[in-house]
Amino acid sequence: MMAHSLITDSHCHLDFPDFEHELNCIVERASQNGVHRILTICTRLCEEPKNRSIAERFDGVFYAAGTHPMNAAIVPMATTDELLGLSEHPKFIGIGETGLDYHYTSGSAELQKKSLLIHIEAAQVSDLPLIIHARSADDDMADILSSEFKNAPYSCVMHCFTAGKRLAKITLDLGFYLSMSGIAAFPKSTELRDTFRSAPVDRILLETDSPYLAPPPYRGKRNEPGYTRYTAEVGADLFGMTYNAFAAQIEQNFEQLFSKVLGHERAL
């Protein structure tokens, strides 16, 4: 395999049962594919200890924690103080994932909004980036993110971005980042690729959202962090760049947004 520049999987779920008893192999295969950093995301705060333990176990693994919007009605509401307390860990580098999902859980919309506002406040106070999940909620998402940004600026990534160009423009205008998952590599994702192509390349991140959404040639199978390279190949083509040039830009983007990573790595 040709040597590639190093890249980061900026969003996956290493704590999920899909990876149980395989973490050593998963992280090793990621490294073999040039994925030297992995950000594992906690979707319920009760699972934060497991994500923390995984991050502490592997040098290149970092973590974030929050309440996924689809969990907002079934777990205790997080508090700003709780999130700020977690943020003191040296490998805790982001707030979330949080957001709005009206596709399956529109009935909990008001609880989702309340939870989102708590996470935004934690991001504003901690100066850590917010990690947003947005599905079938573009208008409310745009309104809340914009109005809260006017109250107090914060940084943010729109994880696994699949929304339309309006939400892309609004969030990019706020200085936020769009994260490209394996969905961007699906053959029928022409409109989504056009949305990414029209964005500044210095605002793009890569992710797997594994164990979900494996890109070709693994579509339909369990995804894993090492497959980030296949989405990176699609991204490089979209922006008319070599793989290595695109990878270097994406690494710079990740380090700009998740800047706490650099402090930890310099301390090693």
What mean pLDDT is predicted for residues 227-249? 97
Distance in angstroms (rounded) separating the CA atoms of residues 118 and 123: 9
Got the DSSP string for 112-152?
A: HHHHHHHHHHHHHHH-PPEEEEEES-HHHHHHHHHHHHHHS
Angle between helices 109-126 and 138-151 (to 10 degrees): 30
pLDDT, tens digit (0-9, with 9 covering 90-100), for 172-218: 999 999 999 999 999 999 999 999 999 999 999 999 999 999 999 99
Distance in angstroms (rounded) separating the CA atoms of residues 125 and 142: 21
Distance in angstroms (rounded) separating the CA atoms of residues 164 and 148: 21
What does the pLDDT read at residue 14? 98
**Total residues found in the chain within this entry:** 268
The correct answer on CATH 3.20.20.140 for the domain covering 7-267 is: yes
Q: Which whole-number Å values give the CA distances from 70 to 44, 85, 97, in the listed order?
A: 10, 23, 11
pLDDT, tens digit (0-9, with 9 covering 90-100), for 16-33: 999 999 999 999 999 999
What mean pLDDT is predicted for residues 76-102? 97
pLDDT above 90 covers what percent of the chain? 95
3-state SS, residue 101? strand
What does the pLDDT read at residue 265? 75
| Sign of the CA dihedral running 164, 168, 171, 177 | positive
Whether the full predicted model's pTM is greater than 0.85, yes or no, is: yes
Domain chopping of the chain, boundaries: 7-267
Residue 267: band (very low, low, confident or very high) from pLDDT cuts 50, 70, 90 = confident
pLDDT, tens digit (0-9, with 9 covering 90-100), for 102-142: 999 999 999 999 999 999 999 999 999 999 999 999 999 99
Largest CA distance in the chain: 50
The chain-wide mean pLDDT, for the chain, equals 96
pLDDT above 70 covers what percent of the chain? 98
